Chains A and B, each alone.
Chain A
Amino acid sequence: MKKLLLMLALSASSFAFANATTIEPVNQKALQSFKADFTSANDVKWATIEKEELYQVSFKYNNEEIIAIYNPEGELLSTARYIVREALPIMVTTELNKQYNNYIVRTVIERTTNGETSYFVTLESEKSSLIVNAKPSGSISVYKKLAKTVFEKQ
């Protein structure tokens, strides 16, 4: 479930994961870039996203699970990882407190795509659950409304 949410965050940047296929070895340019970008990564698993001609790599870095997307030229296009809510930017935290005061924060995903970082925050109240997308400036929009039963089944 947790990895699915990470993929959901990345898929919001228009990458499709339905056709991801595990591969080994991976494209050399992507591999070299990955090794330079995340020097201490372990538990590395590569997959291709055939429809997009992209490479998806999931790994652990500083004990955190991260998913990254590279193109065939070895450019890092996107990353997603879980973070603790305390790591949310100041203005995101203050806006969540103001706008969603009756909700508790379930999970937070940090996503970086095209040089921009945003946050997918799963919120839950007694009556509803939703995922909001927040910019570091504190601008927040509803990304997805969830059926309450999603969390009750976890």
Chain B
Amino acid sequence: MKKRIVSAAIMLMIITSAAFAGDVEIANPKVITSFQKEFVKAKDVQWEKTNGLYRATFRMNDFIMYAVFNEDGSLSGAYRNLVSSQLPIGLQTEIKNQFADYWITDLYEFSNNEGAGYYVSIESSGQMIMMKSTNATEWQIVKKIKK
């Protein structure tokens, strides 16, 4: 459980735009080569860098994506924001049926060396719940915060 919370915190830090400096010219050929190999149809690429991590913001197949690379060119993770209708059906129905009084405040899909999955933050008048799914069929609660 502790590991999950740490992973969630890292992912949140990575996706927070403020953590990255503004647009930079990427001179790291390993990162460029790796990016072009992984995301062959990427368009409108913009780069940012912080703490030795490179983040590419780009358009692929008509959606905006983010990919984070290490200095050595290895892909640290990729993610994108989603709307709830893009979730697998089991994850949609679980939120709708079990958290009917909650609304979604943040939803994104991730892919990193831990695997692929989804993070969602939902809120009610009384609390905020953060959940993760790595099997695309059910949510696991990562954190609950009372308001």
Binding site for B on A (CB under 8 A): 36-39, 61-62, 66, 79, 81, 83-87, 89-91, 93-94, 97-98, 101, 110, 112, 115-117, 136-138
Interchain CB contact (< 8 A) of B111 among A81, A89, A112: A89
Contacting pair A91 B135 (CB below 8 A):
no
15 pairs, CB–CB < 8 Å, chain A vs chain B: A37-B97, A62-B85, A62-B92, A81-B89, A86-B86, A89-B136, A90-B80, A93-B61, A94-B40, A97-B40, A97-B60, A98-B37, A101-B40, A101-B41, A110-B89
Tell me the number of A-to-B contacts counted with CB atoms below 8 Å: 81
Contacting pair A112 B39 (CB below 8 A):
no
Contacting pair B38 A94 (CB below 8 A):
yes
Bound-complex Cα distance A136 to B118 (A): 11
A84: B residues at CB distance < 8 A: 86
Interchain CB contact (< 8 A) of A136 among B63, B90, B96, B116: B116
B126 at the interface (CB under 8 A from A): no
A61: B residues at CB distance < 8 A: 89
Bound-complex Cα distance A66 to B89 (A): 9
B residues 71-87 near A (Cβ < 8 Å) are 78-80, 82, 85-86
Q: Closest chain B residue to A63 by CB distance? A: B85
A87: B residues at CB distance < 8 A: 82, 85-86
Known A-B contacts A39-B96, A39-B97, A136-B136; A117 and B88 likewise in contact (beta carbons under 8 Å): yes
Contacting pair B89 A86 (CB below 8 A):
no
B123 at the interface (CB under 8 A from A): no
Bound-complex Cα distance A45 to B137 (A): 24
Bound-complex Cα distance A87 to B62 (A): 11
B115: A residues at CB distance < 8 A: 137
Contacting pair A116 B97 (CB below 8 A):
no
